[in-house]
Amino acid sequence: MDPMAIALEEAHLAGARGEVPVGAVVLGPDGAVLARAGNAVEAACDASAHAELLALRAAAHRLGTPRLIGCDLVVTLEPCPMCAAALSHFRIRRLVFGAYDPKGGGVEHGARLFSLPSCLHRPEVVGGVRETEAAALLRDFFRARR
């Protein structure tokens, strides 16, 4: 299955639970799925329970290492500054994301963390993968709540 399809499935599941519909999947160096997660901020009463962090933590636990050398993260939304910093610390090889986030993003927008001289690791970044679908999922979620 396409990794972004898996991330979108996790985002749909998160939205159905009342979470902001963001999903993430970590792929090992061989392309195998190591972990997948959707946002769980509300359920966990934890502002850091973003899909990216949950998937990264689960992948690191599964591999028994704090660094995910050679691994990729696929996520439905441009990571926020907190998650971008985590990607750097986990040493993710490649970040692939769907929708851009001009308001809260930390990669292509806002802090642009990977562009800072103090950034300790810069992953390859591919944005806009299935962007229309990922953005529509978020737009529909928030429209239903207004």
Catalytic amino acids? 52
Helix, strand, or coil here: 109?
A: coil
Contact 48, 80 (CB under 8 A): no
The 8-class DSSP code of residue 37 comes to E
Look at residues 59, 104, 55, 103 and name the one whose alpha carbon lies nearest to residue 79: 104
Residue 96, amino acid: V
